[in-house]
C-alpha cells in the first residue's frame, strides 16, 4: 500500500519534472548541457532620410522567416515616431509614423542573432510553404525570341531545376556573352535588375523563382547593404543562387532578411533615403542567451527562473541547489552501501567547505584539524570537564587551530590554507567530540573507520557537488530537485540489503554455499 503510494508519488514528481525539462529544452531552447561560449551578432539597421513637408510614414521589412540564424533579441529606436510592427503573409514590417518632421531623420532597428543549431527544426517549415508560379509577362518581340532561344539551349544541357538554373547563370555570367544574352542584358545595370530579368526568364521556363535579400554577417561592418540573391524552387525546397556567379548555396554567414518581392523599405514623405547596416560580433555565455530567448518566447515559465535573481543570490543558490544531490549521495552511501559516517549530513557540510579549499587541501586541512583537536580533546578528558563546557572548549580550540593554520600557511605562502576559515567549525567540534567518544568506547579502529568513512563520503560529495555538468543542469532546471526528491522517496522504501551486509553476514553464506 505504502509502497504503491510512494511509487505513484515519485512517478508523478518525475513526470512533472521531466515534462518541464522537456518543455524548457525543446521549446524554449535551454541547453541541457553546459557548452562553450557562442557568437552573437549584433546588427543595427539604420534607416536615414531627409523629411519632406507633412506627415512621414516609414516602413522597414524585418527578418522573420526561419533561417540559419535565430533572433535572440530585437529593439527599435524610434525617437518621436510611433511604431507598429505588422505581420503580413509571413513577413514582418516595422512601421514608423509621425505627423510632422523636418531635416535629417534616423530610425534604428537593433537585432541580436545567433547561429541556429543545424539539427534544429528549421527545414520542415519550408515544405508547407505554398509555391505559386508568377504570371508570365508580356515582352517585346525580339526579347521573346531571345528568351525562347536561350531556354531551348539551356534545357538541352540540363536535367533538373538546379542544373537548369546553373546552366542559365553560366551563360549570363560568361566572359563573352552570346548575342541573345547581350540583348537581354541591354538595360540591366544593377544586381537587382539582373535578378528581375532572371525571374522573368525562369517564369517562362515554368520554374518558380523569387528574389531574396540576405545580410552577410561580417565583423566590423559599418555601412553594410543587403545583398540580393536568386532563389528557385525545385518542387521541394528553395535553392539559392548568386546572380553574378553560379554558386548554389548561401555562404555560412548569410542571414536571410527578406524573401518577398515587397520593397525592403518605403518612405512616404522623405527623400535621400539610405539603409545601412552595422554589424559586430561578441561572445556570450550560451545559457544567458538561451534564457534571454526563452524569456521572449514564454515569460510565464521563465518568470520562476533563477536567472531573474541578482547575481549574488544566484551564486548562493548555485551552491544550495547542489546540497540535495549531496543528501541523495548520503542516502545511497548509507542505505544502499552501508558506509558509516559521523552524523548524517556532516560529510556534506565538509564537502561544501572543500569547494573553497579544493579536494586535496581540504582533506589535508580537515585531517590536520581533527587529529590535533582529538589530541587536545583527550587531554580535556583528563581534566574531567562537564559536557557542555567541554564542547565549548573543543569549539574554541578548533577555532584557535584554524586561525593558526591560516596565519602559518599564509606566512609559508600556501594560500590554500586561508580558505580553511570556511570550514564549519561547529561541525568540526562535534566530529572531534563524537570521534573521541567512539575512540574510547569502541576502540580506535572503529573511530578511524568512521572518520575515514566520513572523509570518503565528503570527498565523493565534493566531486558530485562540484561537477560542472550537474551544476549547470540543476541551476538551469531546478525541477531536477523534484526528481531527486522522488528518488529519495523511493529509496526511503527500499528494504533490501546494504552492500556491507553482504560482508557482515558472509559467514552465513559460506556455511550455506558448498
Partner 1 sequence: MPSLDALLPWRRMKALGILGMNKRNGHYIAGYNKRANYPLVDDKVQTKNLAEVAGVAVPKLYALVEIEKHISALSEQLKAYDDFVVKPAHGSGGEGILVIIGRSAHGYRKNNGQIISEQEFGFHISNILSGMYSLSGLPDAALIEYRVKFDPIFADVSYQGVPDIRTIVFQGIPVMAMIRLPTRLSDGKANLHQGAIGVGINLATGQTTSGVSYESFVDQHPDTGSTIIGLPIPNWDDILELTAQCYDLAGLGYIGIDIVLDHELGPLMLEMNARPGLSIQLANRCGLQKRLESIETMENIPISIKDRVALAKQFEAN
Tell me which H or E stretch contains 281: strand 270-284
Contact 114, 70 (CB under 8 A): yes
Q: Does 413 bind partner 1 (CB under 8 A)?
A: no
Which region, judged by CB under 8 A, interacts with partner 1, from 121-129, 224-232, 290-298, 386-394?
386-394
The CA-based diameter of the chain, rounded to the nearest angstrom, is: 120
Q: Which of residues 251-290 bind partner 1 (CB under 8 A)?
A: none
Among 71, 76, 84, 77, which residue's Cα sits nearest to residue 42? 71
Contacts of 481 (CB under 8 A, 6+ apart): 321, 324, 474
Nearest approach, Cβ of residue 442 and partner 1 (Å): 6
Q: Which is nearer to partner 1, 260 or 381 (CB)?
A: 381
Contact 96, 107 (CB under 8 A): yes
Nearest approach, Cβ of residue 438 and partner 1 (Å): 10
- What is the contact mask toward partner 1 in residues 184 to 213, using x (rule: CB under 8 A)? ------------------------------
Q: What angle do CA 101, 103, 109 make, to 5 degrees?
A: 75
Which region, judged by CB under 8 A, interacts with partner 1, from 190-198, 209-217, 410-418, 439-447?
439-447
Q: Which is nearer to partner 1, 469 or 509 (CB)?
A: 509
Which region, judged by CB under 8 A, interacts with partner 1, from 122-130, 141-149, 275-283, 493-501?
493-501
* Among 106, 131, 469, 502, contact with partner 1 (rule: CB under 8 A): 502
Nearest approach, Cβ of residue 481 and partner 1 (Å): 23
Q: Does 312 bind partner 1 (CB under 8 A)?
A: no
d(CA 198, CA 185): 10
Q: Which is nearer to partner 1, 406 or 449 (CB)?
A: 449
Q: Does 508 bind partner 1 (CB under 8 A)?
A: yes
Q: Which is nearer to partner 1, 80 or 506 (CB)?
A: 506
Task: Write down the residue that cell numbers 539551349 correspond to.
Answer: 153
Tell me which H or E stretch contains 179: helix 179-184
Q: Does 444 bind partner 1 (CB under 8 A)?
A: no
Nearest approach, Cβ of residue 433 and partner 1 (Å): 9
Q: Does 338 bind partner 1 (CB under 8 A)?
A: yes
Q: Does 507 bind partner 1 (CB under 8 A)?
A: yes
Among 412, 405, 415, which residue's Cα sits nearest to residue 372? 405
Q: Which is nearer to partner 1, 131 or 502 (CB)?
A: 502
d(CA 471, CA 315): 11
Q: Which is nearer to partner 1, 181 or 331 (CB)?
A: 331
Which region, judged by CB under 8 A, interacts with partner 1, from 81-89, 111-119, 362-370, 494-502?
494-502
Distances (CA, A) of 459 to 240, 363, 394, 448: 57, 8, 24, 16
- What is the contact mask toward partner 1 in residues 111 to 130, using x (rule: CB under 8 A)? --------------------
Q: Does 155 bind partner 1 (CB under 8 A)?
A: no
User: Please, which contacts does 171-175 make with residues 24 or more away whose CB atoms are closer than 8 Å?
Assistant: 172/198, 172/243, 173/244, 173/245, 173/246
d(CA 256, CA 91): 12
Q: Which set of grid coordinates corresponds to residue 159?
A: 536535367
* Among 386, 411, 413, 468, contact with partner 1 (rule: CB under 8 A): 386
* Among 158, 335, 416, 449, contact with partner 1 (rule: CB under 8 A): 335
Contact 488, 331 (CB under 8 A): yes
* Among 103, 220, 235, 513, contact with partner 1 (rule: CB under 8 A): 513
Which region, judged by CB under 8 A, interacts with partner 1, from 252-260, 352-360, 397-405, 492-500?
492-500
Q: Which set of grid coordinates corresponds to residue 344?
A: 548524517
Which region, judged by CB under 8 A, interacts with partner 1, from 60-68, 126-134, 273-281, 380-388?
380-388
What is the number of helices (H) and of strands (E) in the chain? 18, 13
Task: Write down the residue that cell numbers 561578441 correspond to.
Answer: 282
Burial class (CB in 10 A: 0-12, 13-18, 19+), 191: middle
Q: Which residues are near partner 1 by CB under 8 A?
A: 335, 338, 384, 386-388, 437, 441-443, 446, 492-498, 501-509, 511-513
Amino acid at each position: 500500500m505504502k509502497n504503491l503510494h510512494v511509487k505513484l508519488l515519485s512517478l508523478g514528481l518525475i513526470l512533472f519534472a521531466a515534462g518541464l525539462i522537456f518543455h524548457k529544452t525543446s521549446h524554449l531552447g535551454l541547453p541541457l548541457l553546459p557548452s562553450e561560449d557562442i557568437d552573437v551578432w549584433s546588427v543595427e539597421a539604420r534607416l536615414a532620410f531627409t523629411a519632406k513637408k507633412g506627415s512621414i510614414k516609414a516602413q522597414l521589412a524585418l527578418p522573420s522567416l526561419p533561417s540559419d540564424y535565430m533572433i535572440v533579441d530585437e529593439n527599435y529606436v524610434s525617437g518621436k515616431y510611433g511604431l507598429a510592427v505588422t505581420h503580413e503573409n509571413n513577413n514582418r514590417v516595422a512601421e514608423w509614423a509621425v505627423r510632422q518632421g523636418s531635416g535629417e531623420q534616423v530610425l534604428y532597428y537593433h537585432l541580436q542573432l545567433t547561429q541556429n543549431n543545424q539539427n534544429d527544426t528549421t527545414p520542415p517549415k519550408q515544405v508547407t510553404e505554398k509555391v505559386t508560379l508568377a504570371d508570365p509577362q508580356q515582352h517585346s518581340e525580339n526579347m521573346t525570341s531571345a528568351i525562347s532561344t536561350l531556354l531551348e539551349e539551356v534545357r538541352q544541357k540540363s536535367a533538373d531545376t538546379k542544373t537548369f538554373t546553373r546552366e542559365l547563370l553560366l551563360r549570363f555570367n560568361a566572359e563573352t556573352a552570346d548575342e541573345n544574352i547581350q540583348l537581354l542584358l541591354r538595360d540591366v545595370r544593377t544586381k537587382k535588375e539582373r535578378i528581375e530579368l532572371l525571374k522573368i526568364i525562369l517564369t517562362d521556363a515554368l520554374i518558380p523563382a523569387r528574389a531574396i535579400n540576405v545580410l552577410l554577417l561580417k565583423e566590423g561592418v559599418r555601412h553594410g547593404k543587403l545583398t540580393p540573391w536568386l532563389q528557385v524552387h525545385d518542387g521541394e525546397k528553395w535553392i539559392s543562387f548568386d546572380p553574378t556567379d553560379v554558386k548554389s548555396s548561401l555562404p555560412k554567414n548569410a542571414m536571410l532578411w527578406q524573401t518577398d518581392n515587397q520593397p525592403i523599405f518605403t518612405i512616404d514623405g522623405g527623400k535621400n533615403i539610405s539603409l545601412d547596416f552595422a554589424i559586430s560580433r561578441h561572445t556570450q555565455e550560451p545559457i544567458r542567451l538561451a534564457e534571454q530567448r526563452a524569456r521572449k518566447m514564454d515569460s510565464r515559465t521563465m518568470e520562476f527562473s533563477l536567472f531573474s535573481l541578482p547575481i549574488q543570490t544566484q551564486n548562493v543558490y548555485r551552491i544550495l541547489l547542489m546540497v540535495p544531490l549531496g543528501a541523495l549521495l548520503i542516502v545511497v552511501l548509507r542505505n544502499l552501501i552501508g558506509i558509516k559516517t559521523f552524523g548524517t549530513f556532516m560529510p556534506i557540510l565538509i564537502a561544501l567547505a572543500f569547494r573553497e579549499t579544493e579536494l586535496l587541501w581540504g582533506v589535508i586541512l580537515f585531517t590536520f584539524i581533527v587529529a590535533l583537536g582529538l589530541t587536545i580533546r583527550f587531554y580535556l578528558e583528563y581534566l574531567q570537564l562537564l559536557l557542555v563546557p567541554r564542547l565549548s572548549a573543543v569549539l574554541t580550540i578548533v577555532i584557535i587551530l584554524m586561525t593558526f593554520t591560516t596565519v602559518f600557511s599564509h606566512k609559508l605562502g600556501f594560500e590554500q590554507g586561508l580558505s580553511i576559515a570556511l570550514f564549519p567549525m561547529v561541525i568540526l567540534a562535534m566530529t572531534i567530540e563524537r570521534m573521541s567518544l567512539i575512540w574510547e568506547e569502541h576502540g580506535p579502529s572503529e573511530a578511524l573507520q568512521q572518520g575515514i568513512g566520513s572523509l570518503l563520503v565528503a570527498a565523493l560529495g565534493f566531486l558530485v557537488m562540484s561537477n560542472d555538468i550537474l551544476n549547470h543542469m540543476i541551476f538551469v532546471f531546478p525541477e531536477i530537485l523534484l526528481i531527486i526528491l522522488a528518488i529519495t522517496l523511493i529509496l526511503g522504501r527500499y528494504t533490501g540489503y546494504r552492500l556491507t551486509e553482504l560482508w557482515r553476514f558472509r559467514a552465513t553464506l559460506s556455511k550455506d554455499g558448498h
